[in-house]
Homo-oligomer: A and B are copies of this chain.
Amino acid sequence: MSNPGSPTIGVFDSGFGGLTVLRALLERFPRARFAFLGDTARLPYGSKSRRTIARYAAQSAQFLVREQGAEFLVIACNTASALALDAIKDAVSVPVLGVIEPGAAAARAASRTGDVLVIATEATVHSHAYLAACQALGLRAIEKACPLLVPLVEEGWTGVPIAAGSVTSAAAAQAASAPPQVAVTEQVIRIYLDELNAEAKAAGLNPDTLVLGCTHYPLLRPLIQAAVPRGVRVIDSAESTAETALLQFGSRFANQAALPDSKIDPEIRCFASDSVEKFERLGSRFLGRPTGSVELVDLGG
């Protein structure tokens, strides 16, 4: 145990996309201990009923709190955040943070026009959770499902490596002379954004902010940033969630956030309920470092 005495932060997703949220947390809690659980045996949550999702998410949260000793939970899963946040809060007695409200709050902070675009999976859009969160903050929002983006990320057709901070012009230049796989992804992003902008225009909106409402999308951030019109801010809800976590839980990790990057030495344990092979193969791309060996857990039926 490399960080004795540090509280454990539990991070939960239905799959392994939430590792992008864990990655953003690592930068802000460099000496914390982390337990990440992907309920891969029962994904996709998106096609299941609210009651079933609530049961699965509650079981997963209890595993992180009871068996891994998590003192805070981050629900790094849009579907579970949208449909099961209350059920999770009822199931455990530690603070719980989802990904949707931080993303909406960051959009409010960024937007001058008050008009926001959201791209996400079909299930997240269908829940209208971002729309509701944005409206609760006085924003107007239009959501669009982009079902091809997750498989494009999982194929690795993203081209440019993800920089820790924002996109550099060098990354954009690299994307411009992209191999055919990356050109496909660029074209898909362009088609989706054109359709979304047309819908926004038809609805009389003047959007200046785009929320990435899926934990896979941070791997596409350089390509998306290159595709949006100048002046449109891209909000990465993984980053927003980690920032909110620092505000909510940070006092428990005195002075840790001030450590230089070279001092990052987090303790991470990853668990999955199935498909450990795919998790290990793809997960490091999301986490930005090796996941280590992923432990198989049985969460029950």
Contacts and interface: CB of A to CB of B under 8 A. Distances in A.
Interface residues of A, number: 25
* Contact residues of A: prevailing secondary structure: helix
User: How many copies of this chain?
Assistant: 2
Interface stretch (A24-32, A67-75, A88-96, A177-185): A177-185
Interface string A263-285: 00000000000110010000000
Contacts of A43: 47
Contact of A48 (B148, B152, B180, B274): B274
Closest 10 CB pairs of A and B: A151-B151, A148-B151, A147-B151, A184-B187, A47-B275, A180-B191, A184-B188, A184-B184, A147-B155, A181-B191
Nearest to A179: B191
Given A41-B48, A48-B274, 7 more contacts: A44-B44, A47-B278, A147-B154, A148-B151, A148-B152, A151-B151, A184-B188
A41 B42 CA distance: 11
A301 interface: yes
